[in-house]
Structure 1
Amino acid sequence: MNSNYVSLRYLVDKWFAPTLSMPARVTQIGRMLATHGRYVRLEGCTSTGPLTIVFFLHHDGSWCVFPPVAASPAMCGRLFVN
């Protein structure tokens, strides 16, 4: 398993610290159009007020608050020697 793996449950506990009186709830799930990457939008209340965060699933299975970098076309030059 990747050492950088971060679960969605861990991030929800970190950012929202949900309790029975102040739960965090999923308000939207979906896929991004360009990359087809998954995302989850959560809303909750913290001690400072309401909070909404969108979490993105990365290719290694970890969740982050920033979207994964889309693969872009690249050129590779090779030297062929006969």
Structure 2
Amino acid sequence: HRRFHPTRGLFEKWKFKYDSEHDHYICPNGEKLLYTTTDRKGYRFYKSDPKKCTSCPFLERCTRSKNHQKVISRHIWEEYKEKIRQ
């Protein structure tokens, strides 16, 4: 039996550019996902503005959330992990 993949057909995370200077993500449509909170495991969460997402031509390919909000998580050590990978 096949597992359901809710993210199939959606943008990959690398399509969202992280701006370290301002600490936010830029989506493929040029809108910002702003930092909201950090959880106990050290993940920082960035959220889009649902009002802007509602009228976005890429909405279908971006998020399946009911409130039309895209959320991206980034671990606090992500930057170091990226440097190590390079």
TM band (smaller chain): 0.3 to 0.5
Q: Whose strand proportion is higher, 1 or 2?
A: 1
Q: Whose helix proportion is higher, 1 or 2?
A: 2
The TM-score normalised by the length of structure 1 is 0.38
The TM-score normalised by the length of structure 2 is 0.36
